Amino acid sequence: MKKLPTILTALAIAMVVWPEPAALAGEKQNPAVQQEANEKRQFSAKASVIVNEALTFMNEDQYSQALDSLNKALALPELNAYEKATIQQMRGNAYYELDQYGPAIQAFEDAISSDGLLPKEASNLRINIAQLLIASGKHAQGAQMLEDWAENGGNLKPKHIEYLWQAWSQAENYRRALPWAKKWFDAASPKERKHFDLLNFLYQALNMSAKQEDIVKQMIARWPTDKNLWQVWKSLLANDGREKESFEVTKMLYLGGALDKQREFETVVKYYGLYNMPYQAAKILERELNAGTIKATPEKFVQLSDLYRQAREYKLAIPALEKAAKAANKAKHYVDLGEALYKVNQCGKTETAFKKAMQLGYDQGKSWMLIGSCHYDDAATEDKPKCPYTAANEKNLAWSTKRTAAAAAFDKVPPSSSQARNAKKWMDFIAGEKSNLVRRCKSAIDTYGPNCRDVIRRAYKSMPYAGEFPLIDEKCAKYILRFEKEFRKGVKKTEAKTE
């Protein structure tokens, strides 16, 4: 008997059994009833000749010729129910061998409806019909028929249970397949990977995440090196809103060296970023970029710099942005680079980056405003000048030169820019700071000048006697040059009289 080309392992369709007494073993029968039953389960001489001819054809695998003979036999008048049932069974067998499942099913159903079969024979034939329905692609119909047979007292064997979950699965009715799959799983000894895979698949298809998680954990215990199982568990946790647990599984896989695909490493980076660990995420991304497990692209360098900047590690972000800008040659990347450089007060490089961004079309007003802000913030780190404040100080002191550079940058903001008003305010503010400094120094001279004149005069007057310049107020030291010519003459006259 050939095998069915489907999920079924085989379809055992028994050949016709020639007339047997109807009595069950061990059951006492009324002789008259038994005689009547035997007579009903016999072939007439005319029908026997044709049916034997068909049987000969079938034994020689000539099923088309056998069908011709059986159709002739079926056309004979006055056939009894047993003859009809037997002929229909043989027709069903012949059609099955010719891969004509539809006619085979119909012939078997006609055999049952002929009332010529014993209950057990009809029951067995229903199993055959169910399996043929499944084999012919009518999975749900065949599975339902097999279930009905079981509910009516049929004894399901292990192979029937397997047929049932397979048929319902092929019909994509996974809820009907699940009970039979669980029976198949529970009965399996030893349990193989296929038994676990089936429940895993069905639980997933039915969105039974708790059940699927349980079976996956059992599978991990058996096959701990199977990375896909860990990934499934991780996804289940994430889908169930247990992101923290999913992250722990991901971290364990990464630290254990179980990952080898770019998307897996990217997931690790993403999780570290989500859980407010941007520095660790950046370090992992940088390590995998250097190792080549994550492909180096401008976008990845930008991501690396973003992570470092989130971690406030601006200096570490700069090399990644430099690579991104050089590789992509886009204004946005130069802007990001310029902003990072601004954070660490590298104003010269900030200006270079923004000039490149402007060449590539970035907003000039925003660029010059940030350049000016960088120079001004950098100037704030310098010591303020002390009085007196001279023209030489203006040119040489860092506090002054950096503010001058800031003002020059603000002055380059185009008048048409939305930033022009702010730029003008900054220029006025810087000019005001300088004016205040000059005024403060002049005020200091005006305040201390008169008092210091007397202090310096007394110091000069006492020099011939003290042998030194006895300045009693150090604040007046800066005014010595101012009054030297006036009082030095008096000192010389005093020295002449002494001589």
Question: What value, to the nearest 5°, has the Cα angle with vertex 353 and ends 347 and 357?
Answer: 140
All residues at 6 or more sequence positions from 310 whose CB lies less than 8 Å from its CB, including other chains:
273, 278
For residue range 402-441, list pLDDT tens digits in order. Answer: 899 999 999 999 999 999 999 999 999 988 888 888 887 7
C-alpha closest to that of 333 among 363, 312, 353, 304: 353
Q: How confident is the model at residue 489 (pLDDT cuts 50, 70, 90)?
A: low
Mean of per-residue pLDDT scores for the chain: 82
Phi, psi values for residue 467, rounded to 5°: 80, 5
For the cut 90, the answer to whether the pLDDT of residue 492 exceeds it is no
For the cut 60, the answer to whether the pLDDT of residue 24 exceeds it is no
Question: So what's the pLDDT on residue 358?
Answer: 95
Question: So what's the pLDDT on residue 190?
Answer: 92
Long-range contacts, 410-413 (Cβ 8 Å, 24+): 410/368, 410/369, 410/372, 412/364, 412/368, 413/364, 413/365, 413/368, 413/369, 413/372
What is the percent of the chain with per-residue pLDDT over 70, rounded to a whole number?
A: 88
Distances in whole angstroms, Cα of residue 309 to Cα of each of 10, 292, 343, 356: 66, 23, 10, 21
- Whether the Cβ atoms of residue 126 and residue 149 lie closer than 8 Å to each other: yes
For the cut 90, the answer to whether the pLDDT of residue 354 exceeds it is yes
For the cut 70, the answer to whether the pLDDT of residue 490 exceeds it is no
- Give the residue carrying structure tokens 């034994």: 59
The domains found in the chain, sorted by start residue, are 1-22+35-182 (1.25.40.10), 363-499 (no CATH)
C-alpha closest to that of 376 among 401, 352, 340, 344: 401
Cα separation of 201 and 161, whole Å? 17
- Whether the Cβ atoms of residue 299 and residue 318 lie closer than 8 Å to each other: no
To the nearest 5 percent, what fractions of the chain are helix, strand and coil? 75, 0, 25
Amino acid 24 reads L
- Kindly write down the DSSP assignment for every residue of 8-26, as one continuous string: -S----PPPPP----PPTT
Question: So what's the pLDDT on residue 445?
Answer: 60
Q: How confident is the model at residue 306 (pLDDT cuts 50, 70, 90)?
A: confident
Question: What value, to the nearest 5°, has the Cα angle with vertex 425 and ends 416 and 434?
Answer: 135
For residue range 94-148, list pLDDT tens digits in order. Answer: 988 998 888 988 889 888 888 888 888 888 888 888 888 888 888 998 899 888 8
Structure tokens at 257: 């060296």
For residue range 320-329, list pLDDT tens digits in order. Answer: 888 888 888 8
Question: So what's the pLDDT on residue 459?
Answer: 82
Q: How confident is the model at residue 242 (pLDDT cuts 50, 70, 90)?
A: confident
For the cut 50, the answer to whether the pLDDT of residue 163 exceeds it is yes
- Kindly write down the DSSP assignment for every residue of 284-345, as one continuous string: HHHHHHHHTSS---HHHHHHHHHHHHHTT-HHHHHHHHHHHHHHH--HHHHHHHHHHHHHTT
